[in-house]
Structure 1
Amino acid sequence: MKRRAVLFAGAAVAASATAVALKPRRRASKDFAPIQLEQQVPAGFGPWTIDKSLVPVLPDPSLQAALDQIYGQVLARTYINRSNGQRVMLSIAYGEDQGTDATAAHRPEFCYTAQGFSVASMGTAVLGLDGRNLTVRRLVGQLQARREPITYWVTLNDRAVLPGFSRKVEQIRLGLLGQIPDGMLVRVSSLTAEPSAAFSLQEGFLNDLLAAMPPELQSRYFGSRTA
């Protein structure tokens, strides 16, 4: 009996030591140029300029305090196309520690629901953005007469992933390398009754935004270029 207890204690110590050894310790954000949302996301590009008359959906106050612990920077803007008056809302949340599941609270599925929206999934889509095959999730939020098609994705370091299983696999992979990944959630939306037209508008907006960013920042916001 004593021998079994000794073996059990030894196994517990070994498991604990392994867990400590595998615990991510190095912040990957130090391997990249610092993220500065307000300075790096252009206020005007292509036909787009900031429109202050329409504010993107933001978390309610009860959720905001928790999100402040997760994300160090949040950007919320509305852009208007000077040539045709179409609008796109952009929201980006960035944090240096994206190694846990805590950031799920800011996903539109939860953020919009907390504001009283009903949210329907429209599945995933692959956007061809200047050599990148960016996989995104699409939703439609509805609050009374307001209908808001939404496109979003998340990043870990310089890779774009879908939230959920794909993100968890990438978190584990980076954790085994000893990294604490940084990352962001990028969301665009627009107000229209026709989702397909909204998604087409959003894809064009994202292509214009990508083209306006310097190459060294593109992978941080949109993921690495695919071969």
Structure 2
Amino acid sequence: MSRMLRSSVAIGGAMLLTVALAKVATPVHKLADSRPMIDLQSAIPSQFGDWREDRNLLAEVVNPTAAAELQRIYAQTLMRTYVNRDGERVMLSVAYGRDQTDSLSVHFPEGCYGGQGFAVGPTTRQPVAIDGMTIPMARLVASSYNRNEPVSYWIVVGDRAVNNSWDMKLAKLSYAMHGFIADATLMRVSNITLDNERGYQVQQQFVGQMLAAMPPALRYHFAGAAR
């Protein structure tokens, strides 16, 4: 066999392999259709532990993105402010998307805050033990004029919690290799305080009590932890 023929065969084989792999990795079913739908309004309790919803301060919660994008990307969103007995407040934002193809992927808070004029500090990522589970948490501080807002978030892709775009892509690819288009839930908590460390402590307490108040199926869904 001539060198040119061998080269042509090799190129043709590589092209066929690429097509085959693309076909295998192309999802055809939505993961969301394989399990019961969760309604955020009823799934997230409005009162739990030391916390109750404060309906007067919803306006303080920064929208994850513009209204038109919210409707395009997310099937459901939830934004609430909670207050505890000491008067400390935590803002909760939850956004759920049924279709995590690249054009509809959830937006990370760094870009959302930056797009609304906030100065966004560096993001730190670390596992946080909450309610007997380990959640990969991402933390940052967003500031604008006289508002300083420590933020904690994680994203649950299918059943897997992640805190960065690379792990999110790997999780989506893993589901795609099994023929599924993953869904995803963005969980974000924040508060307005000049004491960032105290802010994160309050957020962690809030998340722990929120998850503890949920039945096991919902707790694991929102935490992205294995049963």
Moved more, 168-177 or 184-193: 168-177
- Report matched runs for 1:32-71 at 5 Å: 32-54=35-57, 55=59, 56-59=61-64, 63-71=66-74
The 3-state SS of whatever aligns with 2:38 is coil
| Identity value in percent | 36
- Report matched runs for 1:60-209 at 5 Å: 63-81=66-84, 83-100=85-102, 102-103=104-105, 106-209=107-210
Moved more, 17-26 or 166-175: 17-26
Contact 2:72 2:104 in 1 (8 A): no
Contact 2:122 2:141 in 1 (8 A): yes
- The alpha-carbon deviation at position 3 of structure 1 amounts to 6.5
Matched to 1:88, the amino acid is: V
Alignment deviations for residues 68-125 of structure 1 (CA, whole Å, 9 cap, x no partner): 22111010000011x2111000000001112436435x21111111111000024123
TM-score using structure 2 length: 0.88
Contact 2:64 2:109 in 1 (8 A): no
Structure-2 separation of matches of 1:183 and 1:207: 20
- The alpha-carbon deviation at position 166 of structure 1 amounts to 1.3
Matched to 1:129, the amino acid is: I
Structure-1 separation of matches of 2:5 and 2:126: 58
- Report matched runs for 1:19-34 at 5 Å: 19-34=22-37
- The alpha-carbon deviation at position 48 of structure 1 amounts to 1.1
Matched to 1:57, the amino acid is: V
Structure-2 separation of matches of 1:120 and 1:40: 32
Moved more, 63-72 or 10-19: 10-19
Structure-1 separation of matches of 2:219 and 2:35: 12
Contact 2:27 2:179 in 1 (8 A): yes
Contact 1:59 1:114 in 2 (8 A): no
Structure-2 separation of matches of 1:143 and 1:78: 19
* Cα separation, partners in 2 of 1:100 and 1:216, compared to 1, 3 Å: same
Matched to 1:75, the amino acid is: L
- Structure 1 unmatched runs, 5+: none
TM-score using structure 1 length: 0.88
Matched to 2:83, the amino acid is: I
Moved more, 49-58 or 200-209: 49-58
Alignment deviations for residues 159-208 of structure 1 (CA, whole Å, 9 cap, x no partner): 11112111111111111111111111100000000100000000000010
The CA RMSD measured in Å over matched residues stands at: 2.3
